């Protein structure tokens, strides 16, 4: 997609004139978003949510969904709406500007709370959710991961398999 089309899409979303800013983005039809393990501003998931949001705005998200249940884990923790996040990303904000926005908006969180949430979320394996646990165990088995592997490890392995001809859950 050309730079002009990307900017036009961003303008239509915000319905206002914005500067021509080209933020590097991933074409998720050709490569995976960043790992959910990647931390920006101390938050897990945020880098992946940014990649999916930018790709969605550029209509290059492939089968990846922005504002999916994974992204909602972050948005719920911070008490922000995915649509508000998307509007801010559409301004052409850099990763650093998005981190500042996430920290400033929604529920205030200390660096200790962010670290605790990120550490806990990174270890998610649906231990207390029977149906989700069965699903994750089956997916982990398909990809040769340990039965009790985490959701994030599964997503990393699935992304790798997806761009080498495997399956793709697209969270």
- pLDDT at residue 155 greater than cutoff 70: yes
Same domain, yes or no, for 25 and 75? yes
Same domain, yes or no, for 102 and 142? no
- The residues, ordered by sequence, that sit 6+ positions from 17 with a Cβ below 8 Å of its Cβ are 11
pLDDT on residue 171: 55
Same domain, yes or no, for 103 and 157? no
Same domain, yes or no, for 64 and 100? yes
Say how many domains are in the chain.
2
pLDDT on residue 12: 55
Of 88, 106, 122, the one marking the end of a domain is: 122
pLDDT on residue 15: 47
- pLDDT at residue 128 greater than cutoff 60: yes
Same domain, yes or no, for 82 and 141? no
Please state the φ and ψ torsions of residue 67, each to the nearest 5 degrees.
70, 30
Same domain, yes or no, for 64 and 26? yes
Task: Give tens-digit pLDDT for 9-63.
Answer: 555 555 444 444 456 689 999 999 999 999 999 999 999 999 999 999 999 999 9
């Amino acid at each position: 997609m050309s730079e002009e089309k990307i900017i036009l899409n961003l303008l239509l979303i915000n319905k206002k004139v914005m500067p021509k800013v080209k933020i590097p983005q991933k074409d998720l039809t050709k490569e995976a978003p960043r790992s959910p393990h990647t931390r920006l501003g101390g938050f897990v998931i945020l880098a992946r949510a940014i990649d999916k949001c930018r790709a969605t705005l550029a209509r290059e998200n492939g089968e990846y969904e922005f504002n999916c249940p994974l992204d909602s884990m972050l948005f719920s923790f911070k008490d922000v709406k995915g649509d508000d996040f998307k509007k801010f990303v559409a301004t052409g904000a850099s990763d650093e500007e998005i981190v500042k926005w996430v920290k400033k908006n929604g529920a205030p969180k200390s660096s200790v709370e962010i670290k605790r949430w990120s550490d806990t979320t990174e270890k998610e394996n649906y231990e207390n959710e029977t149906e989700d646990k069965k699903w994750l165990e089956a997916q982990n088995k398909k990809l040769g991961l340990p039965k009790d592997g985490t959701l994030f490890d599964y997503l990393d392995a699935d992304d790798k398999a997806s761009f080498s001809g495997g399956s793709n859950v697209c969270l």
